[in-house]
Structure 1
Amino acid sequence: MSYRDVASKQVLTWAFVAVAARMPVAMAPLALVFLVRERPGGYTLGAALAAVYVLGEIIGAPVLGLRLNARRARPHLAAGLAGGAVGFAGLGALPGAHPVILAVFAFLAGAAPSAVSGGLRALLTSLVPGHAAEQALSVESMLTSAIWAIAPAAVTGLALGVDPGVPPLLAAALMGVSVAGLWLLPEGWQTEERTGRTSQLRVVASAWPVYVTGAAGLSLLALAELVLPALLEQRGIGVGWSGPLLLGMSAAAGVGAFLYGLRSWPGRLPTRSVLLLCGMSSAVVLVAVTPDLAGIGAGLAVAGLLQSGAMLTRNLSLREALPPGALAAGYSVMYSAVSAGYAATGSLAGALLRLTAPSTAILAGVGLTLALTGVGWWGEIRRARRPGAGPGHRARSYTAPATPVRNVRR
């Protein structure tokens, strides 16, 4: 197995489109805060707009993902990205508008392109040989880590150095570029299944253990990120170290994704996922209990390193559990699940910090993560015991009328 299997012109084109489509998502929360921070009650309004944006993602991802046509995905993806571009353009052009108008634009910017991430992931795995899926998803994870490492610095520099309206306008321009880039990629991906929406919903919902473990992993890391400034203050360390520490965690996640794709790993995917989540939990416990900067940095780096592997195993598990025609919808539901997990974690962190020390809040989050991991593991065991389940069961998981398969690649 080698990264040479995913080195192609189409994958490179996909990478440019993915960066243009996903950079705005990584920029959005911080850009919304900077956009209105100079207004009366600006920080509160910025946090509310960011919450509305995430709510749009949570609602839009499963609704739009289930409507995505695998064979003709391009029009759906283009429409979603165009809608997102309109939302970001409205925010950047009208920063002084009434909060309700800004909230409408924020919701549109979050909801309209929310199924694009899942669609692009399904398209990526269709561009490479079947045996190279792990390497392709590893490349995607490295790309995502780089995007999330660059976006906060770009937003801060543009908002403070140029104008607060520039980051949303840049996000709109990037989404517009990604719309044009879609026409350099295949229209969709091949699938032999054709099902009604109710049947597809049932199939996608059957992979619920994967969504639970996905939410668990991001919730754990989100809690560590959100509580980090308060934890540093508790330890008597400068809050300014938050940025470098989180940058190091993102860099470690990129390294972890690269290492994961270098070889085949033993064990079933659910087992790997549980082990990686337990390893992440141990690393975050280290972050909570260590008294010095070096220990906190080491714990975050190890958590980031393992988190990329956990993310890859859940994406591979979903690919194993669902038929090709339902993959984009499954990825979109996963997107919604992890967004909901992140939002819930933010609320939990805020509530716990009023009642207890930051280190205790992190430990409580670890306990919640382990509980969700246990629920996901139990669900995986139940699903594996069903007749016809197991590796490759997705081809047998439901029956569809035989239909001709068009070649959707150009």
Structure 2
Amino acid sequence: MSYREIVTRPVLVWCAVTAGARLPVAMAPLAVVFLVRERPGGYSLGAALAAVYVIGEIVGAPLLGVRLNPVRARPALAFGCGFGALGFAGLGLAPGAHPVFLGGCAFVAGFAPAAVSGAMRALLTEMVPQRAVSQAMSLESMLVFAVWAAAPALVTGLALGVDPTLPLLLQAALMAASVAGLWALPAGWQAEPSEGGGESMTRILARAWPVYAMGAGSLTLLALAELILPALLEQRGIGIGWAGPLLAGFSIASAVGAFVYGLRSRWPGRLPVQSLVLVLSVAALVALTAVLPYTAAIGAALVLAGLLQAPAMLTRNLALREALPPSALAAGYSVMYAAVGAGYAASGSLAGGLLQVVAPSTAILCGVGLTLLLTLIGAAGERRMRRPAAAGAQAGHGGAPTAAGTPAEAVGDAGAAADGGARTP
């Protein structure tokens, strides 16, 4: 299956709607900092507003994701994007308002559309053939990395070159436009009412906790690369202006890595093993940046880390897709979104605290240690879940597993058999 075969008109419409919904999210933290930076204590207030926004995302993603109706998801998505647009508009139209009002708008802007990302991913995988899911998710990853690469430059140019309120108003307009675009897409995705055997959604989602743990661990590496790199460059006596090009190289390499991973529908090894190897490799490369003395060497390590970071993210999402029934996919992706957001926030807080007492290189190594801890916890949980699954499969001699006890591998194997073996293992 090639990329050309999935780039159809419905998928292109999906890309446009997704970009309209995701670009405001990528712009938000920096946009609120520029919005209030000229007020007394502006930078502290901006950091607080950005934190409130991220907290809104972390809280909203699981709460709203589990309440989505897979068959009729469109009204909930329109509701989320609509209120997200109102939150951004409130910030842009009242930049001098009381901090409590601004905080409320920031929370709504983060909370309301928090489940949209997961729902749009579930919708995309429904729009393409089963054998093309890897390519579809790779396409989504390339789109997301492009959005995140463009967002800082867009915010900075508009805020400094025109007006600090303009980025927020643009975010509101893009989010509102995505509401209209939803009606050009399917209303939802198919899900059998009997999936899960009557088991609660919470328990179904909880079974995939090892995937969430590994997801949180991986995003701590991204936080390290973004937040500590400027301080590390200063420690090495390298101009801080190199931070932008180095991070751009990381993002571009990540987009390339997503493209390369999608060139094949099947890679060697099970998805959890692929994810473990990729995350550990990225961790090793990020740790290497802490000890390398030259700009070119640090840049090379970051480029290699970026090439592997995107496939690491893709394998986690594909593993989650195998672990959950279709009716729980959007909720599962939303929980993953919250988990990786929490991992990013935790790493950022850890980095900020460590930089007060240790050198930037040491802070990076401590953050890598946190990544390794979360990753190994996730890997151990996945391995523990496989043991009873293997025992049950041997005892049943090919009998159908129950919905309550179906592990990631059993669901993946069943899906592969139904799809003619085309699903990614």
Could you state the TM-score of these two structures normalised by the residue count of structure 1?
A: 0.95
Q: Which amino acid aligns with 1:391?
A: E
User: How far does the alpha carbon of each residue in 1:117-149 deviate from its partner, in whole angstroms, 9 at most, with x for none?
Assistant: 000000000000001000000000000010000
Tell me how far apart the structure 2 counterparts of residues 48 and 58 of structure 1 sit (CA, whole Å): 15
Q: Match of 1:248?
A: 249
In structure 1, the residue matched to 2:377 is 375
CA displacement, residues 255-281 of structure 1 (integer Å, 9 cap, x when unaligned): 000000011211000000010011101
Match of 1:27 in 2: 27
Contact 1:323–1:394 under 8 Å retained in 2: no
The corresponding residue for 1:401 is none
- 5 Å-filtered alignment, 1:295-306, equals 295-306=297-308
CA deviation after TM superposition for structure 1 residue 195, in Å:
6.8
User: Which residue is equivalent to 1:85?
Assistant: 85
Matches within 5 A, 1:168-247: 168-194=168-194, 199-247=200-248
In the other structure, the counterpart of 1:5 is: 5
- CA distance in structure 2 between the aligned counterparts of 1:11 and 1:131, rounded to whole angstroms: 16
Q: Cα offset for 1:224?
A: 2.0
Shift of 1:7: 1.8
Residue by residue over 1:91-130, the C-alpha shift from the partner in whole angstroms, topping out at 9 and shown as x without a partner, is 0000000000000000000000000000000000000000
- Structure 2 vs 1, CA of residues 390 and 124 (structure 1 numbering), >3 Å: closer, same or farther? closer
**1:220-279 deviation line (CA, Å, top 9, x unaligned):** 121121001100100011111111111111000000000000112110000000100111
Q: What is the alpha-carbon distance in structure 2 between the residues aligned to residue 194 and residue 52 of structure 1?
A: 38
**2: CA distance between counterparts of 1:176 and 1:224?**
32
Q: 1:269 aligns to what?
A: 271
Query: CA separation of 1:392/1:3 partners in 2, compared to 1, >3 Å: closer, same or farther?
Result: farther
The letter for the 2-side match of 1:182 is L
Partner of 2:38: 38
Deviations 1:157-179 (A, max 9, x none): 00000000000100000001100
CA–CA separation in structure 2 for the residues paired with 1:396 and 1:14:
28
Contact 2:62 2:334 in 1 (8 A): yes
Contact 1:5 1:128 (8 Å CA) reproduced? no
Q: Superposed, which structure 2 residues align to 1:272-311 within 5 Å?
A: 272-311=274-313
Other structure's SS at 1:355 match: coil
| Deviation of 1:194 (Å) | 4.8
Residues 56-88 of structure 1 deviation map (CA, whole Å, 9 limit, x = unaligned): 001000000000000000000000000100000
Give distance in 2, aligned partners of 1:158 and 1:23: 14
- Taking the aligned partners of 1:393 and 1:342, their CA distance within structure 2 comes to 30
Counterpart CA distance in 2 for 1:116 and 1:49 is 21
Tell me, yes or no, if the aligned pair for 1:210 and 1:314 is still in contact at 8 Å: yes
Distance 1:97 1:194 in 2: 50
Cα distance, 1:206 vs structure 2: 0.7
Tell which deviates more after alignment, 116-125 or 382-391: 382-391
Q: CA deviation at 1:390?
A: 4.9
Task: Give the letter aligned to residue 24 of structure 1.
Answer: P
Aligned to 2:144: 144
SS of 1:190's equivalent? coil
Distance in 2, matches of 1:158 and 1:240, equals 20
Instruction: State percent identity of aligned pairs.
Output: 65
- Kept in 2, the 8 Å contact 1:58–1:336? The answer is yes
Q: Which moved more, 1:29-38 or 1:194-203?
A: 194-203
- Deviation for aligned residue 1:386: 2.6
Aligned residue number for residue 352 of structure 1: 354
1:392, distance to aligned residue in structure 2 (A): 4.1
CA–CA distance in 2 between the matches of 1:32 and 1:61? 21
Q: Say if 2:80 and 2:116, in contact at 8 Å, map to a contact too.
A: yes
CA distance in 1 between counterparts of 2:24 and 2:34 reads 14
Alignment partner, residue 319 of structure 1: 321
Query: In 1, Cα distance between the equivalents of 2:330 and 2:5?
Result: 22
- Verify the 8 A CA contact 2:225 2:247 in the aligned structure 1: no
For the aligned residue pairs, the C-alpha RMSD in angstroms reads 1.5
Structure 1 gaps of 5+ residues are: 398-410
Instruction: Work out the CA distance in 1 between the residues paired with 2:329 and 2:193.
Output: 11
Q: Cα distance, 1:5 vs. partner?
A: 3.2
Deviates more, 1:74-83 or 1:197-206: 197-206
The answer to whether structure 1 residue 111 and structure 2 residue 111 are counterparts is yes
Structure-2-length-normalised TM-score: 0.91
For 2:123, the equivalent position in structure 1 comes to 123
Once residues 102 and 188 of structure 2 are traced to their aligned partners in structure 1, the CA distance between those partners, rounded to angstroms, is: 34
